[in-house]
Amino acid sequence: MTLNYVLVVTGPVYGTQAARSAYQFALALLAQGHQLSRIFFYQEGVQNGSALTVPASDEFDLVAAWQQLSITHSIELQTCVAAALRRGVVGKQEAAQNMLSADNLATGFEQAGLGGLAEAMLTADRIIQF
């Protein structure tokens, strides 16, 4: 039986194991033939969408891994816009609206409100939070 999953990532890109565990879980469920339609990054998890994250050369690049996962499996990567703005993760539209000189939302990520998460929850068989 194939299930449709949505992941909610609240752990930061580095500093805890939460986001990396979410990534590994995503790989495992896709390998089992399940669907993953959306990954919603909330609270500290929005840091996973920063284009300014530069891990050391011997560390796993989790932002790049999320981007590749999205491309390979057509998975939406959404950051909560309110949580992201509070933490300095800003998309092009939000930078323009707030008259900021730059944006730093990583390619492949989009900013959305909690309505995006609510919509995904209505169609998912399982919602898993990390």
The yes-or-no answer on residue 98 being catalytic is no
Q: How far is CA 89 from the centre of its chain?
A: 12
Structure tokens at 37: 């339609």
Choice among 13, 19, 69, 80 that is catalytic = 80
**Which of the residues are catalytic?**
80
